[in-house]
Homo-oligomer: A and B are copies of this chain.
Amino acid sequence: MTRPSPGREIHFAGRVIIFLEGDESDSIYQLVDGIVMLYKLMPDGRRQIIELLRTGDLFGFSPAAIHECSAESLVAGTCIAFKRSDLARSPALAQRLNEHIQTQMCAMHDHAILLGRKTAMERVATFLMRWVPGRGGYQCLAHAPSPECAEIRLKMTRHEIADYLGLTIETVSRCLSKLKRRGAIAIDHPDEITIKDVCRMCLLTGTEATCER
């Protein structure tokens, strides 16, 4: 018999609100499967999508008993909820979270440089690279062999992409169109994009100075 799980499993469908900014909260969540986005709204309605969470990522942080941002699923998945009070009691749990939070903080740092310093085209290129398996995450293994081509499937609307990248829908659309015209991508479907040359796309992100090939 296994020990009782220290957390409660929560299954969610795609496009479902997990919690809203201002909701009461006594738990922290770890994403097991699926994709979740965190966002905040300004009083006048401007939205910024703050994090796109991957497997292992933690969310629901707050120094207070109230959520400081909203969480919504992009695709169906699962997360585990840990009561904050349990967290304070279980060293093993705390350890586990500590290990992962480092990666996540680094990803936030990368996103800060994107929002603060990258051009629209660099943002879109960075975003596309994010969906190439093994690339575009924090510590993207730029040297790992990757196929020239990559078919990716965006799980977000143009509106969500824009709110994630700090742009408008129109700018996102224009950048994608320009990439298509240049032959860098094919837009097979609004949410199905083929990157013709992954290595060249990586150069457009502004992060990589040279192409290792």
Which one of A63-71, A72-80, A149-157 is at the B interface? A63-71
Q: Is the CB of A95 within 8 A of B102?
A: no
Within 89-128 of A, Cβ neighbours of B (below 8 Å) are at 91, 94-95, 97-98, 101-103, 105-106, 108-113, 115-118
Tally A residues with Cβ within 8 Å of B.
47
Q: Is the CB of A111 within 8 A of B112?
A: yes
Enumerate chain B residues within 8 angstroms of A195, measured Cβ to Cβ. none
Q: Is the CB of A61 within 8 A of B105?
A: yes
Q: Which of B44, B98, B208 is within 8 Å of A94, CB to CB?
A: B98
Please name 16 further chain A to chain B contacts, defined as beta carbons within 8 Å, in addition to the given A61-B106, A98-B98, sorted by A numbering: A40-B112, A43-B206, A43-B209, A44-B206, A61-B105, A62-B106, A63-B106, A91-B91, A94-B94, A94-B98, A97-B98, A101-B101, A108-B108, A111-B112, A112-B112, A112-B115
Q: Which residues of A contact B (CB under 8 A)?
A: 38, 40, 42-44, 46-48, 50-51, 61-64, 68-69, 87-88, 91, 94-95, 97-98, 101-103, 105-106, 108-113, 115-118, 138-139, 163, 165-166, 206-209
